[in-house]
C-alpha cells in the first residue's frame, strides 16, 4: 500500500529561477497583509466614527472625573459603591472633594483603569471597592459593548490611540453593524442642549452617589437564588473561580498610576443579605488569590470582606445595593478607614452643584458650533409646540428639554442659534415671548456672536425685541441670553411648590422674526406699560466666526421630572381627581378622554339659582371638540369651545353644595403623545390642557 501526499506537484523541479518566485511570494504576502490591514483599519475607522464625539461627557460620572478639579477622593467600581458610598458625607468629613464615579459592575476593568490613567491627577485619592466579578471576568459584557457608542463613549474617548484601536478591534461586528444601521436610520440631530440631563443629575446627585431610603424589593433573579449564588455564581462555577488574566496587568498599570502621585486603595464591595459570604471562596481560594495579587502589586485593602457585610434589612434590590441606612453605616466606616490612611484635611470640598452648573454650560458652549438650519420665516411666530418649526431654533446651551408650552432656561445664561433669511425688512426685529419664573420683570442682556446687542427688561406681555436687520444672514447666529440680576436660579422644589428639582429662570415660549412697524400696530399693550424699558445697543458688524465644525449632539433619553407649579390655579379652588398628569406652570394635561376634579364653591355662591361652569384651556391637537360634562356623576350637558377658547355649560343649582365634582369627557379624543408626533421625547398621552375652571352663579 502506498500513500501519496497531497499536491504531488514536483515543486522543486520547477523552482529554478528563485528571484522571480520570491518576488511573487512577496506580492502574495503584501496583498494578504495589506488587505488585512485595510479591512481592520476600515473597521477601526468605522467604530471610531460611530462612537459619539462631544465636549459634553456622556454621563455625569464621567463629567465628575474629567472636570472636577483636584485633589479629589474618587470612588470607582460598579453600582455597589454607587449605592454604598455617600461621597458628600465623605467629602465633608475629610475636607476634600469626594466624587462617586462607580457605575456598573458589567463594565470593563481595563477601561476603568484607562479612564483613571487619563483623568486622575497627582494628589487624587482613588478607592476601588470593585465587585467580585471584576476579579474574574475577562470578556466584555454585551451591555458594556452596546453602551460604548453612546453614554459610555467617554471610556472609549479617554483611551490613547493604540488602546482605542485595541478596543475597537475587540467589539463584535454584529454590534458594530447594528450601530451602523441605527446611525443611518437615526433622525436628524436634535436641537436640545446636550448637558440638560447631566445638569439634572448635578442638581439631584451632585457628587454622584445615589440615595434610596427604602428597598424597592428584590430585582430580577435575586429572590430565586442565594446571596452567594447571585454574587459568585452557582457552586460549580464558584468552585472554578480564579483571578482573571486581565487583573494582574490592570494592577501593574495602577501601580504606575500610583507612582505618578495618585494614592490608590482597594476595598471590598458591600454585600447585604441573608447567607452572604458563606462560601469558602470568600475567605480562601478566590479571595486569597485576589488579596495576594493586590498586595503583590503594592496595594492594601481597606478592611476585610466581612466588614463590608450587612444584614438583609439593609438590602435594596440586590445584595450589592444598600438602602441609605446601610450607606450611612458603610460611609462612616469608610471615613474611618480613610482617616486611618491619613486622608483628613481641614479643607472645604467644592460645591459640586454650583461647579456643575457653570462648567456644564461652558461645555455646552464649547460644543455649540455652527449648525445648518433653515432660515427663520418672516412674520410667523414660532411656538414651541409647532412641529414644523422645531428645526429652526437650535437650543445649544443652557436649556431644559422641550415642553408643550415652551422651554425653560436652566440657569441665568443660555444660548440658542437661529439663521436669518437673506431678505429682511430694514427694521427687522427678533421678538422673543415668554415669562420669567418669578413672574416679575428681569433684565435680559442679549449678545449675538459675542457682541452685546440689546439689554431690556422682560416679563410676560413684554417680549424681548432684538434688532437684527444689520446682522449677518444665511448662517447660524449664536444668541446668548444673560439674566444678570436674576440671582441664584431656584426650582419649584426649592420654593416648596412641587417635587420638581429643576432650577429654572425664563420660559421661552415663542419667537418671531418681524418688523418694528408690525410690532407697533399689534403690541399697544406693551408700550402702554410704563415699567418696560427697552434699550438697544448699537449693533456693530460682527466679526467672521472662526472655523466651526458640525454640531454633534447625542440623543439622550428624556427623563422628565414632574413639574408641579400651581400659579394660575390656586390650591383652594381645584382639587384634581383621576385622569390628570402632574401640575405644570399654567395648568394640567388630561391623560386621556376622561378626567375629574372637585371645585370648591364659596358659601356666598351656594344659594344661587343656577350656575355656569367655565373651563379655560387648550386641546393638544389644536382641534376643538365637543366635551361632555358631568356634575357629581350626573350628565349635565355637552358643550363646545367658543371663540375665546372657553367651554361654558350651565346647570341647575340643585347639584351644588360645598364642592362639586366635575367630570370632563372628551367625546372625540385622540390619544397621542408629543413623542409620537415627533415634537419631543415626552411620552405622555395629552388631550386637553386645563388652565382654569370657574363656577359662575347666574
Partner 1 sequence: MLFTDPVFLTKFLPLVLLGFFATLFSKTRWHSQVLLIGASLVFYSWFKSEYLILLVGSMAVNYILAKHILAQPGTTKSKRILVVGIVANLLLLGVYKYLGFLTVNFNALLDVGLPNPKLLLPLAISFFTFQQISYLCDSHAGKMDAASHNPLEYALFVTFFPQLIAGPIVHHAEMMPQFRKIITPSERAIMFCEGLCLFALGLFKKLAIADSIAPYANQVFTSVDSGAVVTSVTAWGGALTYTFQIYFDFSGYSDMAIGLGLLFAIRLPWNFNSPYKSENMSDFWRRWHMTLSRWLRDYLYIPLGGNRHGKLRQYINNFATMVLGGLWHGAHWNFLIWGALHGFYLIVNQFVRAIAKFFGVLDIVETAKSIRISSWAITFLAAVVAWVFFRATTTSGAISMTLSMFGFVADGAVHMPANLQTTLWVTLAAFAAFLLPNTKEISELFETNLLKRSSALVSALGITSGLAASAAFLASLSLTQSPFLYFNF
* Between 43 and 580, CB nearer to partner 1: 43
**Whole-angstrom Cα distance, residue 196 to residue 199?**
5
* Between 37 and 354, CB nearer to partner 1: 37
Quote the least distance from Cβ 138 to partner 1, whole Å.
11
Q: Does 9 bind partner 1 (CB under 8 A)?
A: yes
Helices (H) and strands (E) in the chain, counts: 19, 27
Q: Does 242 bind partner 1 (CB under 8 A)?
A: no
Quote the least distance from Cβ 33 to partner 1, whole Å.
7
Quote the least distance from Cβ 151 to partner 1, whole Å.
20
**Whole-angstrom Cα distance, residue 478 to residue 395?**
10
| Cβ count within 10 A of residue 566 | 18
**294, 301 in Cβ contact below 8 A?**
yes
* Between 28 and 278, CB nearer to partner 1: 28
Range 273-332, binding partner 1 (CB under 8 A):
none
Q: In what order do the strands lie in the sheet with 413-419?
A: 394-397, 413-419, 476-482, 442-448, 451-458, 534-536
Q: Binding residue for partner 1 (CB under 8 A) from 69, 123, 173, 570?
A: 173
In the block, residue with C-alpha cell 385622569? 579
Site map 111..150 versus partner 1, x via CB under 8 A: ----------------------------xx-x--x-----
Size of the site for partner 1 (CB under 8 A): 42
Range 10-39, binding partner 1 (CB under 8 A):
11-12, 14-15, 18, 20-22, 24-25, 27-36, 38-39
Quote the least distance from Cβ 11 to partner 1, whole Å.
5
Site map 675..694 versus partner 1, x via CB under 8 A: --------------------
* Between 172 and 387, CB nearer to partner 1: 172
* Between 32 and 325, CB nearer to partner 1: 32
Q: Does 45 bind partner 1 (CB under 8 A)?
A: no
Q: Does 40 bind partner 1 (CB under 8 A)?
A: yes
Strand 271-272 and strand 309-310: the pairing is parallel
Give me 320's grid cell. Answer: 450589592
**Whole-angstrom Cα distance, residue 454 to residue 445?**
6
**Whole-angstrom Cα distance, residue 348 to residue 353?**
14
Q: Does 7 bind partner 1 (CB under 8 A)?
A: yes
Q: Binding residue for partner 1 (CB under 8 A) from 43, 299, 337, 580?
A: 43
Binding segment for partner 1 (CB under 8 A), chosen from 8-16, 183-191, 263-271, 458-466, is 8-16
* Between 250 and 551, CB nearer to partner 1: 250
Q: By C-alpha distance, which of 70, 79, 124 is closest to 102? A: 79
In the block, residue with C-alpha cell 492594601? 300
Q: How far is CA 214 from the centre of its chain?
A: 24
Binding segment for partner 1 (CB under 8 A), chosen from 9-17, 89-97, 340-348, 364-372, is 9-17
Q: Binding residue for partner 1 (CB under 8 A) from 174, 224, 236, 633?
A: 174
Q: Binding residue for partner 1 (CB under 8 A) from 45, 169, 676, 698?
A: 169
The answer for 497, left when phi > 0, alpha when psi is -120 to 50, beta otherwise, is: alpha
* Between 30 and 635, CB nearer to partner 1: 30
Q: Binding residue for partner 1 (CB under 8 A) from 123, 160, 172, 450?
A: 172
Quote the least distance from Cβ 7 to partner 1, whole Å.
6
Residue 309 DSSP class: E
**Whole-angstrom Cα distance, residue 226 to residue 351?**
41
Give me 605's grid cell. Answer: 355662591
Name the helix (H) or strand (E) containing 151: none
Q: Does 6 bind partner 1 (CB under 8 A)?
A: yes
580-585 contacts at long range (C-beta below 8 A, 24 or more positions apart): 580/690, 581/684, 581/686, 582/498, 583/498, 584/403, 584/405, 585/405, 585/435, 585/507
The C-alpha angle with vertex 395 and arms to 392 and 397, in degrees rounded to 5, equals 155
**Whole-angstrom Cα distance, residue 458 to residue 483?**
10
**554, 54 in Cβ contact below 8 A?**
yes
Question: What residues line the site for partner 1 (CB under 8 A)?
Answer: 1-7, 9, 11-12, 14-15, 18, 20-22, 24-25, 27-36, 38-40, 43, 139-140, 142, 145, 169-174
Amino acid at each position: 500500500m502506498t500513500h501519496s501526499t497531497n499536491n504531488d506537484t514536483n515543486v522543486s523541479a520547477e523552482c529554478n529561477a528563485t528571484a522571480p518566485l520570491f518576488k511573487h511570494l512577496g506580492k502574495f504576502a503584501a496583498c494578504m497583509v495589506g488587505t488585512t490591514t485595510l479591512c481592520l483599519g476600515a473597521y477601526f475607522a468605522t467604530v471610531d466614527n460611530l462612537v459619539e464625539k462631544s465636549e459634553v461627557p456622556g454621563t455625569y460620572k464621567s463629567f465628575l472625573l474629567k472636570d472636577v478639579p483636584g485633589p479629589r477622593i474618587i470612588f470607582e467600581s460598579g453600582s455597589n459603591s454607587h449605592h454604598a458610598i455617600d461621597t458628600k458625607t465623605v467629602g465633608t468629613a475629610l475636607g476634600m472633594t469626594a466624587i462617586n464615579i462607580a457605575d456598573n459592575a458589567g463594565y470593563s476593568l481595563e477601561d476603568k483603569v484607562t479612564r483613571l490613567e487619563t483623568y486622575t491627577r497627582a494628589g487624587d485619592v482613588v478607592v476601588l471597592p470593585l465587585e467580585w466579578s471584576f476579579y474574574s471576568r475577562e470578556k466584555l459584557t454585551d451591555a458594556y459593548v452596546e453602551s460604548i457608542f453612546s453614554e459610555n463613549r467617554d471610556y472609549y474617548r479617554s483611551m490613547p490611540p493604540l488602546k482605542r484601536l485595541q478596543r475597537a478591534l475587540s467589539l463584535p461586528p454584529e454590534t458594530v453593524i447594528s450601530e451602523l444601521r441605527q446611525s443611518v436610520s437615526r433622525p436628524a440631530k436634535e436641537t436640545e442642549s446636550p448637558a440638560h440631563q447631566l445638569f439634572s443629575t448635578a442638581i439631584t446627585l451632585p457628587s454622584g452617589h445615589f440615595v434610596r431610603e427604602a428597598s424597592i424589593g428584590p430585582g430580577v433573579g435575586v429572590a430565586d437564588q442565594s446571596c452567594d449564588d447571585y454574587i459568585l455564581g452557582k457552586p460549580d462555577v464558584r468552585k472554578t473561580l480564579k483571578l482573571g488574566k486581565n487583573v494582574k496587568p490592570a494592577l501593574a498599570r495602577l501601580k504606575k498610576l500610583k507612582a505618578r502621585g495618585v494614592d490608590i486603595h482597594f476595598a471590598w464591595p458591600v454585600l447585604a443579605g441573608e447567607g452572604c459570604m458563606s462560601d469558602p471562596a470568600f475567605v480562601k481560594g478566590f479571595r486569597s488569590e485576589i488579596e495576594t495579587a493586590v498586595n503583590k502589586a503594592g496595594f492594601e485593602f481597606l478592611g476585610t470582606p466581612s466588614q463590608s457585610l450587612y444584614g438583609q434589612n439593609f438590602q435594596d434590590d440586590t445584595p450589592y445595593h444598600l438602602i441609605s441606612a446601610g450607606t450611612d453605616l458603610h460611609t462612616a466606616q469608610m471615613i474611618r478607614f480613610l482617616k486611618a490612611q491619613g486622608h483628613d484635611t481641614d479643607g472645604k470640598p467644592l460645591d459640586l452643584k454650583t461647579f456643575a452648573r457653570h462648567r456644564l454650560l461652558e461645555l455646552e458652549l464649547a460644543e455649540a458650533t455652527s449648525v445648518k438650519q433653515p432660515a427663520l420665516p418672516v412674520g410667523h411666530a414660532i411656538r414651541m409646540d409647532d412641529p414644523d418649526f422645531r428645526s429652526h431654533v437650535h437650543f445649544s446651551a443652557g436649556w431644559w428639554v422641550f415642553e408643550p408650552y415652551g422651554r425653560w432656561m436652566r440657569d441665568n445664561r443660555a444660548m440658542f442659534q437661529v439663521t436669518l433669511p437673506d431678505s429682511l425688512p430694514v427694521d427687522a426685529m427678533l421678538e422673543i415671548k415668554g415669562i420669567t419664573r418669578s413672574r416679575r420683570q428681569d433684565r435680559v442682556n442679549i449678545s449675538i456672536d459675542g457682541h452685546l446687542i440689546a439689554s431690556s427688561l422682560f416679563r410676560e406681555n413684554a417680549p424681548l425685541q432684538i434688532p437684527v436687520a444689520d446682522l449677518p444672514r444665511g448662517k447660524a447666529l449664536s444668541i446668548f441670553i444673560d439674566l444678570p440680576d436674576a440671582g441664584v436660579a431656584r426650582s419649584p422644589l426649592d420654593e416648596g411648590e412641587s417635587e420638581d428639582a429643576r432650577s429654572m429662570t425664563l420660559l421661552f415660549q415663542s419667537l418671531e422674526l418681524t418688523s418694528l412697524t408690525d410690532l407697533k400696530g399689534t403690541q399697544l399693550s406693551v408700550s402702554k406699560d410704563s415699567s418696560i424699558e427697552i434699550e438697544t445697543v448699537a449693533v456693530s458688524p460682527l466679526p467672521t466666526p472662526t472655523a466651526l465644525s458640525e454640531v454633534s449632539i447625542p440623543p439622550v433619553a428624556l427623563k422628565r421630572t414632574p413639574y408641579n407649579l400651581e400659579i394660575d390655579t390656586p390650591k383652594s379652588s381645584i382639587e384634581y381627581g383621576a385622569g390628570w398628569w402632574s401640575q405644570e406652570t399654567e395648568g394640567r394635561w388630561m391623560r386621556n378622554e376622561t378626567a375629574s376634579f372637585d371645585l370648591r364653591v364659596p358659601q356666598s355662591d351656594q344659594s344661587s339659582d343656577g350656575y355656569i361652569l367655565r373651563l379655560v384651556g387648550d386641546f393638544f391637537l389644536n382641534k376643538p371638540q365637543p366635551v361632555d360634562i358631568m356634575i357629581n356623576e350626573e350628565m349635565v350637558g355637552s358643550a363646545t369651545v367658543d371663540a375665546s377658547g372657553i367651554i361654558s355649560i350651565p346647570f341647575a343649582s340643585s347639584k351644588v353644595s360645598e364642592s362639586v365634582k366635575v367630570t370632563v369627557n372628551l367625546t372625540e379624543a385622540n390619544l397621542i403623545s408629543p413623542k409620537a408626533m415627533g415634537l419631543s421625547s415626552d411620552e405622555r398621552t395629552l388631550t386637553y390642557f386645563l388652565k382654569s375652571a370657574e363656577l359662575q352663579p347666574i
